[in-house]
Amino acid sequence: MRRSWVGGANAAETDFPLANLPFGVFSTTAEGPRCGVAIGDHVADLAALAAAGLLPGDCGFDAPALNTFMALGPARWDEVRTRLTALLAEDGDGALRGDAALCGRALVPLAEVAMHLPFRVTGYTDFYAGRQHAFNSGSILRGPDNALTPNWPHMPIAYNGRTSTVVVSGTPVRRPLGQVMGPDGDGPVLSPSRRLDIEVEFGAVVGVPTRMGDTLTVAEAWENIFGFVLLNDWSARDIQRWEGQPLGPFQAKAFATTISPWVVTRAALEPFRTKGWPRDKALLPYLDEPADYFFDLTLETHLCPKGGAATRIVSTNTRHLYYSAPQLLTHHALCGCAMNAGDLLGSGTISGPEKSSFGCLLEQTWGGRDPVPLDGGERLFLEDGDTVTMTGWGQGEDYRIGFGRCDGEILPARPNVGAN
């Protein structure tokens, strides 16, 4: 593990050691949004470094999104990562460390920045790639004998979501209105969702675009993925239950999806690659994996009531996924669907075998039957004023590769004429 001369970068508990270098978009009170990299307790201003001639000038780092850089592909990603490592390492070339004026401009304390969506989200697809979650939710709705649909072990199931309501960590989430089945069961009423939920997910970010009509092998898909984010796909279970037949989620998922502000690259996560699940059934050859494309990453979620203390309600791991990120991308492109730089692929809820590792309240409460204990209270589903915070990391020897925080506070539904 190489050490950095930047403050906080060598602390064992930091999410952002030199081995990480996640990409994001930040602003300060003096300057608008531009691209940066987290290092210790600072952000390295990539636009300033490029302007000083220390990074390639064609990466679009002065833009308020990473899309231009992501579309340049793996060779340029590796070139920039190698150069940043040399600039920020204790044993590096000193081109930045030796220039006090440039250091003052290009290294900004994290405490002084505002974070923005790291990339322009050009498409959002939410998959259903966790076997335990699929089995649990199917058991709640249909019973354990019919929990998994016949197609589930053969291909990644998904729906296309909304890009307009993908938001960065810290953005409040308004409780949605929608049609739900009325208390007497005779028909729907218009109501704020009363079964508002979280979904602990892992998001893959597409970097290299494809053309309409193109397909991808799994190995090619891996090379096209720029990196990964934490993702909370907020879910209104009562709205979904009423509207979801036969076409699946619509307004129950369209109101908000929160992602972490930092995109952690494939290179940073390389030490945490691992094998996936044994297959229930053999997959068709186009989904064959020539390497291990799963990760061993811990994901935790805390719930904090307004004015109260936070309680950890989920501790799970990305290794519980049944389909890998490049398999998701390969299947997405199979029909010839064009993929864009900035497409976001959500894994679907990640649940392990124990209740504490179930990645949503629907599972933890088993459909609203069993309350989840909190410090000083309990929950079946989210209440107004609750703040949900996701964190995630890969743990190495005396270091971690982390994603920062992915959080949001629940605001009350807007008043609406005719709401019940």
| 133, 302, 320, 331: the active-site residue | 133
Cα-based angle 117, 218, 164 (whole degrees, multiple of 5): 25
Give catalytic status of residue 302 as yes or no: no
Q: Nearest Cα to 225, choosing from 84, 318, 329?
A: 329
Cα 320 to Cα 275: distance, rounded to the nearest angstrom: 10
Cα 241 to Cα 48: distance, rounded to the nearest angstrom: 50
Structure tokens, 21: 């270098």
Q: Nearest Cα to 363, choosing from 313, 325, 295?
A: 313
Strand partners, 261: none
Would you say 237 and 252 are in contact if contact means Cβ atoms under 8 Å apart?
Answer: yes
Strand partners, 181: 188
Please list the active-site residues: 133
